[in-house]
Amino acid sequence: MLELRPNCECCDRDLPGDSADARICSFECTYCADCAAQVLQGRCPNCNGELVPRPRWPLEKLAANPASTRRVLKPAGCQG
């Protein structure tokens, strides 16, 4: 099951479990659509993997299986 991290690792923007703006790599590193496209050029800075839209869960499924509350943030932001 996906962890559904709650924020962008670059800019700390909130990304709820049903957000259409979340992007992830195969290791579930999580970024907002703006940072993924403009800063990272579609590549994860951690593993160089492709950043793709994160699957969205229906609200009723999120109620039973809540998204993670563990925030991951790069203190210096991200470099592309």
Domains of the chain (ranges, CATH numbers): 1-63 (3.30.40)
Model confidence pLDDT, tens digit, residues 54-76: 998 888 888 888 889 999 998 88
Total residue length of the chain: 80
Q: Answer yes or no: are the C-beta atoms of 10 and 17 closer than 8 Å.
A: no
pTM: 0.88
* Residues in a beta bridge with 59: none
Q: What is the pLDDT of residue 80?
A: 56
Q: How confident is the model at residue 24 (pLDDT cuts 50, 70, 90)?
A: very high
